[in-house]
Every structure is written in structure tokens, then in C-alpha cells.
Amino acid sequence: MSLDYVKFSPGFEKFMPKEYRDMVEHGPFGKKVSVSQMGSFKEILEEHPMCAGCAMTLFIRLSMISFPNPEDTITVGTAGCGRLAISQAAIPFVYGNYGDQNGVASGLSRGLRLRFGDKPKDVVVMVGDGGMADIGFSATLHSWFRKEKFTTIMLDNEVYGNTGGQESGMTNRGAVLKMAPLGKKFEKMDMVGMAKIAGCAYVATVVPNNPRRVETVIKKAVLIAREVGPAYIQAYTSCNIEYAIPTDKVMEDAKNVEGDRYQFSEYITDDAKQYLAERYGYKEFLPKPAAAVTKA
Amino acid sequence: MSESLETAVKTNPQGDPITSVAAPKPAAVQKDPHAEAKKQRVVTPEYMFFEAPRTREFITGSEAAKEAVRRSNVDLSIAYPITPQSETMQLIGVLYGEGYVKEYYRGEEEYGVMSAIAGASRAGVRCFTATAGPGTLRGLEPIASWPGHRLPAVAMFTCRVVNAPLAIQPDNIEISYLLNCGMIVFHAENQQDMFDFIMKGFIISEMNDVTLPVGVCCDGFFVTHARGYVHMQEKGIKLPPREAWRGAVPVLDAENPPARLSRDAPVQKSNFMAYNIHAVWQQEVWAAVERSRKYINKLMGGLCTAENVENADAVIVASGSAAAQSREAVRLCAEKNIKVGLIKIRSLRPFPTQELRQLCKNVKLIVIPEFNYVGWLAKDVATAIYGHSKAKIIAGPHVYGGQSMPVELIVDEVESGLTGKKSTNVPLSAIMGTDVDQAAVAHFMQNI
């Protein structure tokens, strides 16, 4: 959980496994890496037990490349497919109980701030749609209302994938799944709307077939969560098993869904825009003098 | 904006009896509300517990808990106003306002609170929370996972009724749910115990070879709301801070257990290695509970205390408020020339098995009064001394659902246990290991 931590102890270098040496020498720690450089550095998540063609895994990989300071980042998860991959990454992962992730992250981020002061330690929650919108709903909403400063990412495959394909709150109305034998009887939950109402400083929806967009969204979210307020990203990460999407059609499906119910959207509060512009040089959020004054 | 608001409402307007005796005067000069807290100096646990001069105060159990936290260098505390409530967690809010606790908030409910305590303990800071009755059960899933994740913290359980129908009265049935979590569990008899057990709990919890959460239980109302004398050190000293690196395991390190256990492929699949790894980890958690014995002996003076046990015909074994009632029963028995001793159990996990075997070796009768229906303490005592004592064990009297425990009930159990003559035919107790008295049950059923 710090740059020192991922270095070798002096004298032990040659005894470390090759994987480990590769991670220290060619990994992203302490460097600026980008999704456009994929293949030229060792990623913090490589091997994983996920299904072939899993869009969620691609999204998790892209997210981890995009973390601004991977050596100072802790991920928090709960039961679900996602954690099978997230737990394999070379950064700390917290797995507690069912749906507890935003509670754990609240205590964790406050505790880390007490210990490390201004030195940023990024806490990123990554959980599935069921883990967040169903079993973890209360902790999620309350952490947002409390303005807890960490990032929450929903890996939305619109189904309980890990337990074998049951309806979740994020499933679309009418979908026939286990536990919804007659089709789901109510609409997909509007977590994006709730995130805005609850006071998130940054809210975005993305699909994984635009890596550059995923990267900018993750970076903005994590940076905003450091000082401004809670950030929420909702990503469509299809389950090609439960929705029977052929492996070679997964990206095509993501594109279709993007056109249907997952258009890219981004909501940033004025505070967050100002912070990104002033602190991290985001030019697009620099105030436009004349227009801004008349608008205000 | 939220920052400035927060500062303004930090101090509990109700104040508390200790700090709000003098009404605040409209001061011309802005005083630093954290001034006193900043002056606190760190002392060793040995000095704090055994050498520091103490003065006596007449305070409630909730205030005793607050004063313990004030001197314990607590970093973070999370509150929830569960019904039934004690003042404890709002008084910790006063400490936050005064700067004695660095971080504090009101959580959404116990599941969220206990999860956040788990997160904060992983961050390496010293944590405290308190709950009661239904709150304990609501938070039980995270609480039960604290020991496996090796998370030091102190949680206070001010026991109340958890069963339906609704009641808010004292009843310590919830302790039976906590006993098998793998955490260390103390049972405070009075306000003084509450004060001592919390402070000592932090030190024991954070010992390298322990690294476990500590639950400090008391019987709600009797201890939390009532006043008692508490001998306390001055406010100007505090325990050393938590040093997370001293922990037995690096809790956030994905390369090492316990975090490693969720990433290793075998644990994610059902096979022999997965079972074996989990089994070994459970053994280690309970071994850590065992290793805490030496610190409990050193800092708390033993897992149990024995009063008048030598040459006694009968002993009463009790914990919590039942111990207070039993002490009075011992006095009444002495007036009747019945030789009865009292064993007060302070630590329920680890359990004083060897101590009880030694103390109960020659007694004829053991009476175990409890503030719950099921008699969880009696079961533990009977298990501990099985084969080591020929004493008749009476599980009871039992009171529950908010009933108080008249001392005479305990005296009656002792007398009738020794003589066979019972003054009441209401089945308040059971002789363990023998058949239920069907006649007594029938009589009871006919009269309700």
C-alpha cells in the first residue's frame, strides 16, 4: 500500500519469483501508464479464473490500469464474479461480508486519512449489481449521503452471475431469469439517479468497449473522491454466460446496449470541475470567463 | 460548507454530567475545544492500570465507558442510536467534540457500523463502538467475521432482550451468540468493571499474538443507566496509540493471510485444500483466543475471581449483574450459617476452565444464576468441570425479559440444593443432567 512496499528488500531481488520481479520492474507502480500502452508493461491484474469472453474482466483490467496511484490504492469488494478477478490483482483487496463494501470503505477511508493525513490513499469499491443495488443498498446510499470520500464502481451485468443467473434489481423489466420465471416484474433500478440525489460529486455510465473513455472516467472519479466527495461509476459488463452472448459477440452486444440503455453520461458537480481544473490541470473544466459570469 | 457545519454541532448540546456541570459562559475569547485533549500525555499500560493515582466518582456505566474511551487514545468511533439505547455512544460524541476521539460519525444501522469498524481497523486505527440487543444481532454477520480477519477493536454490548415480542429490558441472551464468534468476550459486573475492561480490552486486543476483537458485555440498564463508584485515573493521561505494524498479520496485504485466503485459487473452489486452509485458520483464531489468557491474567487479575470459596459447601458461579446479586446472596447465606462461596467470571472467552476445575473440586453444590432463559453460562460451567467435580449443578435461578433477580431466589436455590427443600414450586431452575421435574412444569403450566 505504498511505493516502498512494492519494492524488493535489498539483497532479496534475485530470490524473488520472476512474476514478482516483472511486476516491480515492468509494472505500473510509480509510473504513469495508459490503456493505449497495454502490452508494453505488466498489468497488476493478469491471471484470473473468469469465463472466456467476460466483459467484466476487461472492464476490471482497464480500471486497474487507470488507477492514478495503483501503489496507494485499495479495492473493496463483496461476493460476486468480480471479486474472483479483483482479488488476483497485485494491490490490496478487502473482502468482508455480503453487501458490506460501502460500510467497510467508509471506515477504511476515514481510518487511512487519520493515519496518512494528506497523502492520498485511494479506496475503490468494485462490486456487482446485486451486491450493490440489492444486498448492499443501504450501506451504499448512506455512504453517499454522508459524502464519504471514495469511489464506488458497479459492475452491472444485470444478473446474479456468480450464483447461476438469478434476477437482480438491475435486471431489465421482462427478462426471464432464475427467480423471475415469468419475467422481471419491475424496472431496472435507477442507481445513477439515486447517486445524484444522494450527493455524489461525480457520476458516470460507461461500457467497456471504449478503453480510453473508461480510463478518463476512472481517473476523474478516483481523483474527485480524494477530496471533493463520493464518486459513482456504473459500467455495463455483460454476463455472456447467463445472457447466452457468443464470445465473439460480447463487444457487439456492449455496443448495442450502449445505444439502448447505456449511453455514455457524465455528471460532475461544479466543485469537482473546479478541483480537477485547478489541482490536476483538466483544461475542459477551466472556467470560461465571459459565459460563466453571465450564467452565474 | 459541510466542514464548518460539522464543527458547530460537534458538542452534544445535552452535555454530560461530568463535563457540563458549569454552564458555559459567553466567552469573549474563542477557546480551543480540543485544548484539554491536546494536553493528554501517553503513559504505559502498566502505569495506567497499576500505578496511576485514582480518584473516586459516582457515575453511570455509560459514563464509565466514556471515561475509559477518553483515556484509551481511541482514533475512531461509530455510533448508531439503536433501541434500546444507552447514552454511551452519544457520550463518545462529546469526546469527539472535545478532541479525545479523532473521528466519529452516526452510522446508518449496525450492519453498516460493524462493517465500517472492520474497515477502520484494517486501516490500522484504534476503534470503539457500542450496541445493544437487536443491534448486536443485526451487526452479528460483520462481528462474526472480525476475528477471522484479525481485526483488533473493542465493542461494548449493553445486553437487552432480542426475542419477540418487543421489549427493551435487560436480558443477556445476546452473549450466547457472541461466544462462538472467535472474539474475546468479557462480562462486566458493574461500572468499575466497565471502565477497566474497556481500557484493558484495547491493550489485550492489540497484543501481537492475540490480534483479535474484544467484546465487553454488561447487563443493560443495571450497569449502563445506574450509578456506581468508579475509581479513575486523571483525565490528562492516555494509553499508547495502536501500532498497526505490531499486529500478528498484515490485514491489508493481499500476499499474506488472512487477505490472501480470499485470493488463493484453492479457497475459491471447493476442494480439500480449501477446507484445510479454512480449518487451519479457524484453529489459529481460537489459538489466539487461548493466547490472550496470559494478558487477561496479568492485566485483569484473572479470568475469574473467587470469594469465600475455601471450605465452602456450595459455590455460586455468576457473571455480570448476576454476580452482584450473588454477592448479596452469599452475605444472606452467611447469616443463615450456610457456607457459600462466589466465583465471578470476568472472561467468558477464553473461559476459565482450569480455574473452575480447581475451585469446584470439592464443593457439593454449584448454583448458576443467570439473566436469560437458556442458561448459557451453566452449560459452559458444566462442560468445563465435567469429570472434575461431583457437585450437583443447578442451572438457575433464571430471570429474563426484564425481570430483576431477587437475592432470595438465589438463596433459595442454594438452600434447597443443599437440603432438598424448596420454598417455591415455580420452575426457575433446572438440575443439569437429570430429568426435568414434570410435576413442577405441570404446576407451572396450570397456573399461567
Residues of B near A (CB-CB distance < 8 A)? 2, 75-76, 78, 102-103, 105, 107-109, 111-125, 127, 141-142, 145, 149, 244, 252-254, 259, 262-263, 265, 268
Strand order in the sheet with B430-431: B304-307, B340-345, B314-318, B365-370, B392-398, B430-431
Alpha carbons within 13 angstroms on the beta-carbon side of residue B66 total 26
Q: Is A142 on the interface with B (CB under 8 A)?
A: yes
Same domain assignment for residues B325 and B433 = yes
Domain extent at residue B387: 304-446
Query: What's the confidence (pLDDT) of residue A204?
Result: 98
Cell match 427467480: residue?
A179
Q: Is residue B369 part of a domain?
A: yes
Neighbouring-strand partners of residue A126: A153
Answer whether residue B104 is part of any domain.
yes
Residue of B142, B244, B265 lying closest to A96 (CB–CB): B142
Contacts of B120 in chain A (CB under 8 A): 107-108, 110-111
Residue A174 predicted with pLDDT over 80: yes
Residues B199 and B82 in one domain: yes
Q: A147 in contact with B at a CB cutoff of 8 Å?
A: yes
A257-261, B268-272, B309-313, B400-404, range with the lowest pLDDT: B268-272
- Is residue B330 a contact partner of residue B337, using CB atoms and an 8 Å limit? no
Smallest Cβ–Cβ distance between A142 and the set B112, B122, B142 belongs to B112
pLDDT over 60 (residue A206): yes
- The reply to whether B202 and B312 lie within a common domain is no
pLDDT digits (tens, 9 = 90+) for A108-150: 999 999 999 989 999 999 999 999 999 999 999 999 999 999 9
**Residues of chain A found within 8 Å of residue B143, distances taken between Cβ atoms:** none
- Does the distance separating the beta carbons of B109 and A105 come in below 8 Å? no
| More confident of the two residues B416 and B121 | B121
How many domains is chain B built from? 2
Residue identified by cell 463520493 is A230
pLDDT tens per residue, range B14-64: 555 555 556 666 666 788 999 999 999 999 999 999 999 999 999 999 999
Quick one: pLDDT at residue B419?
85
Q: CA nearest B260 in A: which residue?
A: A87
Residues B76 and B159 in one domain: yes
Among the partner-chain residues A87, A100, A114, the one whose CB lies closest to the CB of B115 is A100
pLDDT at B3: 45
Say which residues have a Cβ less than 8 Å from residue B200's Cβ, sequence separation at least 6. B45, B49, B299, B300
Q: Are residues B57 and B185 in the same domain?
A: yes
Q: A296 pLDDT exceeds 50?
A: no
Q: Is B191 exposed, middle or buried (0-12, 13-18, 19+ CB in 10 A)?
A: buried
DSSP line for B83-105: SS--SHHHHHHHHHHHTSSSEEE
A105 close to A112: Cβ distance less than 8 angstroms: no
Which residue do the cell numbers 420454598 mark? B423
Q: How far apart are CA A112 and CA B108, in angstroms?
A: 21
Closest in B78, B102, B122 to A94, CB measured: B122
Per-residue 3-state assignment (H helix, E strand, C coil) for B342-384 = EEEECEEECCCHHHHHHHCCCCCEEEEEECCCCCHHHHHHHHH
Task: Judge: B119–A91 Cβ closer than 8 Å, yes or no.
Answer: no
B330 and B240, same structural domain? no
Residue B438: per-residue pLDDT: 64
DSSP A189: P
Per the domain annotation, does B297 fall within a domain?
no
Q: How far is CA B302 from CA B45, B291, B348, B390, in A?
A: 17, 14, 12, 25
Does residue A2 sit at the B interface (CB-CB below 8 Å)? Answer: no
Pick from A129, A128, A127, A125: nearest CA to A151:
A125
Q: Which of B136, B188, B238 is nearest to B346 (CA)?
A: B188
Q: Please give the residue of chain A at the shortest CA–CA distance from B107.
A: A142
d(CA A265, CA A129): 18
Instruction: Quote the percentage of chain A above a pLDDT of 70.
Output: 97
In a domain, B371, yes or no: yes
Which helix (H) or strand (E) covers residue A225, if one does? Answer: helix A211-227
Residues B237 and B321 in one domain: no
* Shared domain check, B122 and B215: yes
Q: How many CB atoms lie within 10 A of CB B97?
A: 19
Asked whether the beta carbons of B275 and B264 are under 8 A apart, the reply is no
Distance spanning both ends of chain A, measured CA to CA: 42
Distance separating alpha carbons of residues A167 and B161, to the nearest angstrom: 37
Chain A: closest CA distance from residue B110 (Å):
10
Q: What is the mean pLDDT of chain B?
A: 89
Length of chain A: 296
Average pLDDT over every residue of A7-22: 88
Q: Say if residue B201 is in the same domain as residue B313.
A: no
Integer Cα distance of B425 and B441 in angstroms: 9
**Cα dihedral sign, B326-B328-B332-B335:** positive
Note whether residue B19 is domain-resident.
Answer: no
B234 and B325 assigned to the same domain: no
Are B122 and A104 inside 8 Å of each other by CB?
Answer: yes
Contact A103 B263 (CB under 8 A): no
What tens digit of pLDDT does each residue of B125-159 get? 999 999 999 999 999 999 999 999 999 999 999 99
Place of cell 481517473: A219
Q: How far apart are the first and last CA of chain B?
A: 61
Strand A151-156 relative to strand A93-95: parallel, antiparallel, unpaired? unpaired
pLDDT average, residue stretch A35-47: 93
Band (pLDDT 50/70/90 cuts) for residue B295 is very high
B221 and B80 fall within a common domain:
yes
Angle, nearest 10°, between helix axes B88-98 and B61-70? 30
Find where cell 473493496 sits. Answer: A76
Banded pLDDT at A175 (limits 50, 70, 90): very high
> Cα–Cα distances in Å, from B124 out to A92, A133, B170, B201?
14, 29, 34, 16
CATH, residue B423: 3.40.50.920
- The domains found in chain A, sorted by start residue, are 45-277 (3.40.50.970)
Q: Is A98 on the interface with B (CB under 8 A)?
A: yes
- Tell me, yes or no, if A94 comes closer than 8 A to chain B by beta carbon: yes
Q: Are residues B239 and B326 in the same domain?
A: no
**HSE-CB for A102 with a 13 A CA cutoff:** 32
Q: Tell me whether residue B282 is in a domain.
A: no
Q: Is B5 inside a domain boundary? A: no
A95 contacts chain B (CB < 8 A): yes
Q: Is the pLDDT of residue B225 over 80?
A: yes
The vertex-B244 CA angle with B264 and B98, nearest 5°, equals: 135
C-alpha–C-alpha distance, residues A209 and A217, integer Å: 13
Q: Do B252 and A74 touch (CB under 8 A)?
A: yes
Tell me if B27 is assigned to some domain: no
Shortest Cα distance from A37 to chain B (angstroms)? 26
Q: Which residue of A lies nearest to B2 if distances are taken between CA atoms? A: A147
Distance from CA of B249 to the nearest CA of A (A): 14
Nearest Cα of chain A lies from the Cα of B252 at a distance, in angstroms, of 6
- For residues B314-328, give the mean pLDDT: 97
